[in-house]
Amino acid sequence: MSEGQQRRQQRGPQSGGRSGGRDTGGRARQSQGGPRGPVRTVQPARRVAFDVLRAVSEVDAYANLALPGAIAEAGLTPQDAALATELTYGTLRRRGTYDAIIAAAAERDVDSIDPVVLDALRLAVHQLLATRVASHAAVNESVNLVATAVGRGASSFANAVLRRISRDTPEQWEERIEQDARSDDERLALRTAHPVWVIRALRRALASEGRADELEDLLDADNASPEVTLVALPGLAEPGEPRRPFAETAFASPGGDPHTIVAASGGRVRVQDEGSQLVALALAAAAPVRAGERWMDLCAGPGGKTALLAAIARPQDVDIEANEVVAARAGLVRNALRAVPGEVVVHQGDGRDLGTTRPAAFDRILVDAPCTGLGALRRRPEARWRKTAADVAELVPLQVELLNSALDALAPGGIVAYVTCSPHLAETTGVVQDVLRGRSDITELDARAVVSGLSMSPIDLADDGRTTTGSVQLWPHRHGTDAMFLALLQRAPKES
């Protein structure tokens, strides 16, 4: 995320969000817009959801960052906050499907519809086809949103489109939009609201484990609301109930606003996916910890894994440092570490320089590399529409450079955990194999054995065909976690 994006998201979504560029048919309109008439009332939860959708569309905001602030600013009740969350995330997850329905009902491409109107239509279609919200409420309030933000002419268009959509069932609309699909993958993309390129990448990743038949289960899991998981920093807090099955530090939120629990704990308990906990725990468990070790979290923002590693390191006489290239995210790391006693130096710099500036300096390094984020589509639903296959080609060289830099910064016998929140083969095993081909000083450890050994209960980790070494790929549909990838790489020890 760029610094500009960070600043925009810290400001939060702007209410209304006029586009100032098109009328409902896509023609240029004057900046003053059409006559608006009296301000119409809109239920607060819908208003918040709409404002966040506009922020996602207009300034590339991340819903998981923008929504909590918008809910707090609006002073929503717990019930309204839950509704705003469902409306926001549900609309974002199924945007591709809803756009196809809107295009069919409007008899025009969605690119020709004013962006403000389009977001209001998406929000309404989600309510009409995927929730128990009354049809008249979904239509009327979305029309009011359009009337307030754009004008009466646009609201008449929105009203006509939504009433057309409300006349048919979700199944009828699904059948209608799939009729024009040019392939089975396009048909699956429309039904499951995933871009075709993502479907194909996920299928290849599952097929590499011999489990291509699990694709639709994975796509369904991406579209389900994830359970909120908390981490209890070891030595500083005790996990609550119910416990999660794998990480000893993980437990499920008992309900309500989890941030209340976080605040009450002083940050010693925080929200963190169990998969993220497992990969950090695996780095610490990959070999016995010796007093005096030096650890580094190389791509640390926003700091959740850093805090977990710091809590593990604290009683073991281990020095830990962190690095983050973006200033705002480096600040988030420092904030995440406040709950952990002791000093953790947080550097701001390019992780690709570490191997040159600090050669052979660290015993364990976590490289949670920038990636497409395809493993967290449950939590960051806008990523599926924001990323493209071209992003993979741009990210892989960066991932290779970061991993090589970390390996150069390893002391003899040291271990790197290479982690991505993506199952895309180019970002995972592809990067690892590319790096290993160019180095004779690095051995891959059996990450499957490490994770199985630390797991609280049996964990189903697929064999990728190698017998003595192997990476770990977690899955939402199989493990209930984000699709985290982990490889453990060890630098050769000094010759005696």
- Render pLDDT for 27-75 as a digit per residue (tens, 0 to 9): 333 333 444 444 457 899 999 999 999 999 999 999 998 999 999 999 9
Q: What is the pLDDT of residue 255?
A: 79
Does residue 376 have a known ligand-binding role? no
Give the CATH H-level superfamily of domain 273-491: Vaccinia Virus protein VP39 (3.40.50.150)
Domain 44-180 and domain 273-491 have a common topology: no
Q: What is the pLDDT of residue 495?
A: 74
Which residues are CB-neighbours of 333 under 8 A, at least 6 positions away?
A: 297, 300, 301, 302, 303, 306, 322, 324, 346
pLDDT band at 466 (very low <50, low <70, confident <90, very high): low
Q: Decide if pLDDT at 457 tops 70.
A: yes
Report the candidate in 493, 347, 489 with the shortest Cα–Cα distance to residue 431.
489
- Return d(Cα 343, Cα 28) in angstroms, integer: 57
The residue ranking higher by pLDDT, 463 or 274, is 274
> DSSP class of residue 270?
E
Q: What is the pLDDT of residue 153?
A: 84
Does residue 387 have a known ligand-binding role? no
The percentage of residues in the chain with a pLDDT greater than 90, rounded to a whole number, is: 83
Question: How wide is the angle at C-alpha 383 spanned by C-alphas 379 and 385, nearest 5°?
Answer: 130
421 among known catalytic residues: yes
| Catalytic one of 421, 431, 442, 451 | 421
For residues 316-331, one letter each, b for 16 or more C-beta atoms within 10 angstroms of the residue's C-beta and e for the rest, the string is eebbbbbbbbbebbbb
Does residue 61 have a known ligand-binding role? no
Does residue 60 have a known ligand-binding role? no
Average pLDDT over every residue of 250-267: 89
- DSSP symbols for 72-83: HHHT--HHHHHH
Amino acid identity of residue 157, one-letter, is: F
Extents of the domains making up the chain:
44-180, 184-223, 273-491
Average pLDDT, the chain: 90
Report the candidate in 65, 58, 142 with the shortest Cα–Cα distance to residue 98.
142
Distances (CA, A) of 122 to 71, 128, 261: 20, 10, 33
Does residue 302 have a known ligand-binding role? yes
Helices 78-93 and 44-59, packing angle to 10 deg? 40
What tens digit of pLDDT does each residue of 317-370 get?
999 999 999 999 999 999 999 999 999 999 999 999 999 999 999 999 999 999
Does residue 12 have a known ligand-binding role? no
Average pLDDT over every residue of 179-197: 96
Question: With the CA atoms of 240, 244, 250 and 251 taken in that order, what torsion angle do they form, in degrees rounded to the nearest 10?
Answer: -30
Give the CATH H-level superfamily of domain 44-180: NusB-like (1.10.940.10)
347's enclosing H/E stretch is strand 345-348
Which residues are CB-neighbours of 130 under 8 A, at least 6 positions away?
A: 90, 94, 170
Q: Decide if pLDDT at 20 tops 50.
A: no
Does residue 299 have a known ligand-binding role? yes
Does residue 368 have a known ligand-binding role? yes
The percentage of residues in the chain with a pLDDT greater than 70, rounded to a whole number, is: 91
Distances (CA, A) of 83 to 173, 214, 254: 24, 31, 18
pLDDT band at 17 (very low <50, low <70, confident <90, very high): very low
Helices 196-207 and 389-408, packing angle to 10 deg? 50
Does residue 303 have a known ligand-binding role? yes
pLDDT band at 82 (very low <50, low <70, confident <90, very high): very high
What tens digit of pLDDT does each residue of 129-168 get?
999 888 998 999 999 999 888 888 899 999 999 999 999 9
